[in-house]
Amino acid sequence: MIELEGLWVKMGQYLSTRADVLPEPYIYVLKQLQDSLPPRPLEEVRGTIERELAKPMNDLFANFVLDPLATASIAQVHRATLVDGREVVVKIQHNGIKEIILEDLKNAKSLVEWIAWAEPQYNFNPMIDEWCKEAPKELDFNNEAENTRAVSKNLSQKSGCENGVVSSAVDVLIPEVIQSTDKVLILEYMDGIRLNDNDSLEAYGVDKQRLVEEITRAYAHQIYVDGFFNGDPHPGNFLVSKEPPHKPILLDFGLTKRISQSMRQALAKMFLSCAEGDHVALLSAFAEMGLKLRVDMPEQAMEIATIFFRQSTTANEAKENIKTLNDQRERNAKALQEKMKMNKKEFQRFNPVDAFPGDAIIFTRVLNLLRGLSATLNVRIVYLDIMRPFAESTLLGSMMRGPANSQWIYDSPVNSEVESKLRNLLLELGSNKILGIQVCAYKDGKVIIDTAAGMLGKYDPRPVQPDSLFPVFSVTKGITAGMVHWLVDKGKLKYEETVANIWPKFGTNKKELIKVHHLLNHTSGLHNALGDVMKSNPLSVCDWEEMLEQITKCAPETEPGSAQIYHYLSFGWLCGGIIEHASGKKIQEVLEEAIVHPLHIEGELYIGIPAGVESRLAALTVDMEELEKLSGFRAGPEVPQELLNNVAQMATGLPVLFNTLNIRRAILPAANGHCSARALARYYAALGVGGAVPPPHSGCSSPPLGGHVHTPKFPTMPSSSKKKTKKKGTNSKKGGNFEQNGGGQHHHDVSQSDKNGYTQLRTSDGSDDRSSSETAMAGTGTRMFIGDGDKMLEAFTGAGDEFAGMIHPNGKFGLGFRRYGYAAGGGAGEEGRRKTMTFGHSGMGGSTAFVDVEHGLAMAVTVNKMSLGGVTRRVVRLVCEELGVPVPDEFSVAGDKGPDMVLNLAPPPPEE
């Protein structure tokens, strides 16, 4: 390497820093490449200085030390004293090194292209392209001088970062630039200890842990805050000041990388998504960086990305690190090969990366060099802790925050005066209480509110749009209940039918007498069924068939019909099981047929998302201030105690869990709905008139509701014991790559099914054979149900003589929906409250949807900042009061709260 010079020395320098993954003997030999190469002759040094500075050495220096302080790949450094008495170091470029490095780059480019052709898995073209662009900059010392001044200025700023998260400058030293030319650089002399001089570090009492942490902070500031960072942090480029507190001295800014604001925001998002385990934000960061993958494997993508930010290790763990990394690589390769259904030969020629951004090359190199530096000094660094404040500062500082930014509310037409007042309320509440929100309301079948505001996630600054998909937790139960009612309406099952008659395996362990209406009314006694799975292995809930199997083995805790206790998790598997067994179809297929297609809300209402909609997903976070108000909370007997034992712990843990793509893609009909508020509001507007489909959604809504052509298709269910009959009111044909439904024909590109039964259907241009307005109009005047609408309304709420015996006396639920009352004549207590034909379902953290049949109001609110529901209550109260509609108990100041919002059970704060 010493003989070959150029890039070979640079490669050796890099390897010498990787004490975390290379055996110690290699590190010991390669360390001499950092700054101990054979020095160039003094005549060469003198000639370069006098030629570049156009003066004799004696006119420039009062003293020039002949023995160099260090000799590296591009230059060597001598100590000197200027004629004015200043102590300096002089950096002199080796003669002919520029030509050598440029030739090395050309040869390396040829070699890499040959490897990429022979072994597509090992395509290093992006890496060498980045080096070809950046390496020549090291050969211009004027460029290094400017870089040194810029980094010094950035790191000495006292004002901190954009939003004050990081309030002080990092504590490092950088030499002052005295003079520079193309091949000579004169810098202020700083007396320091080399990082490889362990005896001196020990003698001076240097805290090596603090030293490396401060260097890491300096790099976090350069990368995330400044977007301008030294790309070569090997030990030879640092000193440690001899005076306490022994600050790091940063040297050599020849290879300094500048990245755009959008790239540093994307890098910050990538870092924070790894810290949070947020797959959606990670994939979004990849897209923003320009990293394109050829395969949908978010779990493996997260695993690989997290490797970059893992905690550093000591040098004596190098062997174990290599083994661990290799094992992980083999696991990922095996999973990828299985996913792509390739044989070994095909897989060897498959590269899962379609495009890798050059800007990220130097970034990943810096992280690896910092990890090697930690190993060299035998300290452990938790990068996620040290770098997080800087990444947060950059990302949050760039986000559209609250009323100060007019774009915080999505730019869409105002449908009514009440919508104008609602938007003013949202601005008043601001980003302190709201992260992202959607509000949609129908009055007498007409859209009067369709507002979106805020951001998709804590670390995702993209704006919430009307078609954004929010995880809504138990709001999903109202959707699942609608499918059960639809099957009853179609004659596929009956409310008074025993579940075992539909689902034979269910009829064990004293469940023989449980009827369909017991499940809908939360009176089956299975309120805690499988609740422990969220504690022992939360990801087990992703296995739909296994959970249904486990449900069949459960036993009720109370006699069916005797007590209404909220079925917080089991509701989904219980109802989902009878939906699939009664229909002979997948639950997602029933959802499409019963709700999505009739209402023309394609692409905006899912239970378990299909691949391809990740870019529209909102990510959950928790309002920690609100969470503190839960301390000491007590709930009534209708709420399972198991649900309340660790409410605070659950509230902080669930967002992390539900932000993972494997949970989002799972089928959890109790809690895993992903909807837009406008799709939810339209659903309840239809339910409120007994299933009649409302007129088309507001034509001003953009993108138009129902305009998403990405709809899932499902395999046929195995034959059930129920006799199948042709469904009334349907005209559906399926075959090949066509799907006919409702008279329209959609041409699709069918790809492979995923593990949840989805087949991804896409069109190349996002268009359809019909226009969006034609698609919407096709449903006008049609119905979701073929039966009597008034009877359906009675079934939803458990009203009327036919259904009164199916619900628990004085219970909060009808058949699947929470029944709301409101104050009558201002009276207090139960006597002063009136039960109404108002029903809906809320979800943990604040999302909700309901319909007031009497006053023709259907409304939905979706939020991604989980709280005690204060924002939702304020929104609903304002809309109701402006319309002169009574406020339902669930949303009134002192009203009776239902058991379906665990975090909304606490009474509202006094300021409400």
Contact 438, 451 (CB under 8 A): yes
Give dist(CA 850, CA 545) in Å, integer: 31
Give dist(CA 319, CA 472) in Å, integer: 46
Contact 190, 173 (CB under 8 A): yes
- HSE value, Cβ hemisphere, 13 Å, CA-based, for 908: 20
Tokens for 361, please give them: 């090359």
Find tokens 């105002």 and name the residue: 414
B/e letters for 541-556, b = 16+ CB within 10 Å, e = fewer, are bbebeebbebbbebeb
Tokens for 628, please give them: 């503190």
Give dist(CA 303, CA 333) in Å, integer: 12
Collapsing DSSP to helix, strand or coil, 745 comes out as: strand
Is there a catalytic annotation at residue 296?
no
Q: Which of the residues 232, 278, 460, 489 is marked catalytic?
A: 232
Quick one: CA torsion of 134, 136, 141, 142, rounded to 10 degrees? -70
- 841: β partners: 849
State phi, psi for 270 to the nearest 5 degrees: -60, -45
Contact 100, 106 (CB under 8 A): no
- Other CB atoms within a 10 A radius of the CB of residue 66 amount to 10
State phi, psi for 474 to the nearest 5 degrees: -75, -5
Element (H, E) at 185: strand 184-188
- Look up residue 376 and give its amino acid: T
Give dist(CA 498, CA 512) in Å, integer: 7
Rg (CA), the chain: 33
Contact 115, 127 (CB under 8 A): no
Give dist(CA 573, CA 561) in Å, integer: 19
Give dist(CA 345, CA 123) in Å, integer: 17
Collapsing DSSP to helix, strand or coil, 183 comes out as: coil
Q: Are strands 75-82 and 87-93 parallel, antiparallel or unpaired?
A: antiparallel
Distance of CA 68 to the CA centre of its chain: 51
Catalytic positions, written as ranges: 232
